[in-house]
Chain A
Amino acid sequence: MTTTEKSPVTPGGKTYHDDLAIVREELDKCMKCGNCMSVCPVYGAEKLETSVTRSKIAVAEAVLDGELELDDPQVYDMLFNCLVCKSCMTGCPTKVDFGRIIVALRAALVRKNGLPWLKKMIFSTMKHPKLFDAGLRIGAAMQSLAFKSDKTGKAISPRSPFALVGGGIGFDGDRQMPALNITPLRERVPEVVNADNAWMKVAFFTGDSLNYFYPDAGMDLIEVLTANNIEIHIPKAQNCCGVPVLVHGDIETVRTLARNNIDAFDKTGCEYLITGCGSCGGAWQHDYSDILAADPVYAPRAEYWAKRTYDISTFLTRVITLRQPKGRVERVVTYHDSCHLKKSMKVFAEPREILKSIPGITFKEMSAPDACCGSGGSYVLSHYETSSIIGRKKIEDINRTKADTVSVGCPACMMQLLDNVHRGGEEQAVVHYISLLAESYRKEKN
Chain B
Amino acid sequence: MLDKIIIEQLETLAGKNNVLTSKVDMVAYSYDATADLPRQSPDIVVFPTSAEMVQEIVNLARRHKIAIYPRGAGTNLSGGAVPLKKGIVLSFQKMDKILEVDAANLTAVVQPGVIIAALNAAVSPHGLIYPPDPGTVATATMGGSAAENSGGLRGLKYGVTKNYIMGMEVVLANGEKVRFGGKTVKNVTAYDFSNLFVGSEGTLGIITELTAKLIPAPKYRRTMMGIFKTLTDAGNAVAGIIAAHVIPATLEIMDRMTIRTVEDFAHIGLPVEAEALLLIEVDGMSEDLVHTEAEAVMQVVKDNNGDLKAAETDQERDQLWLARRNALPALASLNNTVVLEDATVPRSRITDMLIACEGIGKKYNLTLGTFGHAGDGNLHPTILCDKHNLEEIGRVHQAVDEIFKVALSFGGTLSGEHGIGVAKMKYLGDELGQSGLNLMRSIKESLDPEYILNPGKMVPLQEN
With contacts A35-B139, A37-B139, A38-B138 taken as known, whether A75 is within 8 angstroms of B332 at the C-beta atoms is no
Q: Tell me the bound Cα distance from A2 to B302 in angstroms.
A: 42
B33 in complex: contacting residue of A34, A62, A95, CB < 8 Å: A34
Selected interface stretch from A46-54, A172-180, A231-239, A301-309:
A46-54
Q: B32 touching A32 by the CB < 8 A rule? A: yes
Answer whether residue A68 sits at the interface, using C-beta atoms and an 8 A cutoff: yes
- Counting CB contacts under 8 A, is B27 at the interface? yes
Listed in ascending order, the chain B residues whose CB lies under 8 Å from chain A are 20, 22-25, 27-33, 35, 39, 73-75, 91, 93-94, 96, 117, 136, 138-139, 328-329, 332-333, 336, 338, 387-388
Q: How far is the CA of A72 from the CA of B24 in the complex (A)?
A: 9
Q: Within the assembled complex, what's the spacing in Å between the Cα atoms of A94 and B388? A: 18
Given contacts A28-B387, A34-B139, A48-B93, contact A59 B27 (CB under 8 A): yes
Residue on A nearest B332 in the bound complex, by CB: A94
Bound-state Cα–Cα, A31 to B138, Å: 17
Contact B94–A47 (Cβ < 8 Å) = yes
Q: Give every chain A residue within 8 A of B338 (Cβ-Cβ).
A: 31
B139: chain A residues at CB < 8 Å are 34-35, 37-38
Scoring A67, A72, A94 by chain B CB atoms within 10 A of each residue's CB, the highest score goes to A94
- Cα distance, A32 to B25, chains bound together (Å): 16
Partner of B28, one of A35, A47, A49, A95: A49
- Check A78–B24 contact: CB distance below 8 A: yes
- Please state if B74 and A94 are interface contacts (CB–CB under 8 Å): no
Asked if A401 lies at the interface with its beta carbon under 8 angstroms from chain B, I say no
A256 interface residue (CB < 8 Å to B): no
Contacts of A28 in B (CB 8 A): 336, 387-388
In the assembled complex, the Cα of A29 lies from the Cα of B93 at a distance in Å of 26
Is A58 within 8 A of B27, CB to CB?
yes
B329 proximity list for chain A (CB < 8 A)? 93-95
A-B residue pairs in contact (CB < 8 Å), sample of 18: A28-B388, A29-B336, A32-B32, A33-B33, A38-B117, A49-B91, A50-B20, A50-B25, A55-B27, A55-B28, A58-B27, A58-B30, A59-B28, A67-B27, A68-B27, A74-B22, A95-B329, A95-B333
Q: How far is the CB of B27 from chain A (nearest CB, A)?
A: 5
Question: Of A33, A37, A68, which is in contact with the most chain B CB atoms at under 10 Å from its CB?
Answer: A33
Query: A37 touches which one: B30, B39, B73 (CB < 8 A)?
Result: B73
- Rounded to whole angstroms, the CA-CA distance of A75 and B94 in the bound complex is 23
- CA–CA, A367 to B33, complex, Å? 29
Complex: A99 Cα to B91 Cα, angstroms: 28
User: Given contacts A47-B93, A49-B91, A74-B24, could you give 17 more A-B pairs where the C-beta distance is less than 8 Å?
Assistant: A28-B336, A29-B336, A31-B338, A34-B73, A34-B74, A35-B138, A47-B94, A47-B96, A48-B20, A48-B93, A49-B25, A49-B28, A58-B27, A58-B28, A74-B23, A74-B25, A93-B328
**Complex alpha-carbon distance, A32 and B29, angstroms:** 11
Cβ–Cβ < 8 Å partners of B387 in chain A: 28
| Contact B332–A31 (Cβ < 8 Å) | yes
A residues near B93, Cβ cutoff 8 Å: 47-48
Contact count band on A:
20 to 34
In the complex, the answer to whether B138 meets A58 with C-beta atoms within 8 Å is: no
How far is the CB of A62 from the nearest CB of chain B, in Å? 5
Asked whether B23 lies within 8 Å of A32 as measured between CB atoms, the reply is no
Q: How far is the CB of A46 from chain B (nearest CB, A)?
A: 9
B23 A68 Cβ-Cβ under 8 A: yes
Which chain B residues lie closer than 8 Å to A93 at the CB level?
A: 328-329, 332
Given A72-B23, A74-B23: A33 touches B28 (CB 8 Å cut-off): no
Q: Which 9 A-B pairs have the closest CB atoms?
A: A38-B138, A55-B28, A93-B329, A28-B336, A47-B93, A74-B24, A49-B28, A37-B139, A50-B28
Within residues 7 to 65 of chain A, which ones have a CB less than 8 A from any CB in chain B? 25, 28-29, 31-35, 37-38, 47-50, 55, 58-59, 62
Decide: A68 and B24 in contact? CB cutoff 8 A.
yes
CB distance from B289 to the nearest CB of A (A): 33
Question: Assuming the A-B contacts A58-B30, A93-B329, A93-B332, are A31 and B23 also in contact, with contact meaning beta carbons closer than 8 angstroms in the complex?
Answer: no
Give the distance to chain B from A97, nearest Cβ to Cβ, in Å: 13
Question: B261 → chain A, closest Cβ, in Å?
Answer: 13
What residues of chain A lie closer than 8 Å to B22, measured between beta carbons?
Answer: 74
B27 and A32 contact, CB distance less than 8 A: no
Complex CA–CA separation, A34 to B332 (angstroms): 15
Across-interface contacts of B91 in A (CB, < 8 A) = 49
B25 in contact with A34 (CB, 8 Å): no
Q: Which A residues touch B388, using CB under 8 A?
A: 28
Closest to A78 in B: B24
B residues in contact with A75, CB < 8 Å: 24
When the two chains form their complex, are residues B136 and A59 in contact, meaning their CB atoms are under 8 A apart? no
Q: Across the two chains, which residue of chain B brings its CB closest to A91?
A: B138
Q: Is the CB of A59 within 8 A of B24?
A: yes
- CB pair A32 B328 closer than 8 Å: no
CB distance from B338 to the nearest CB of A (A): 6
Could you tell me the distance between the alpha carbons of A67 and B23 in the complex, rounded to whole angstroms?
Answer: 10
The reply to whether A58 and B96 contact each other, CB–CB distance below 8 Å, is no
Give the distance in Å from the alpha carbon of A125 to the alpha carbon of B3 in the complex.
Answer: 50
Q: Which residue of B lies closest to A79 (CB)?
A: B24
CA distance A151 to B35 in the complex (A): 59
- Among A31, A49, A78, the residue within 8 A (CB) of B74 is A49
- Nearest chain-A residue to B115 (Cβ)? A38
Give the nearest-CB partner of A47 in chain B.
B93
* Nearest CB in chain B: distance from A80 CB, A: 12
Contact partners of B73 in chain A: CB under 8 A: 34, 37
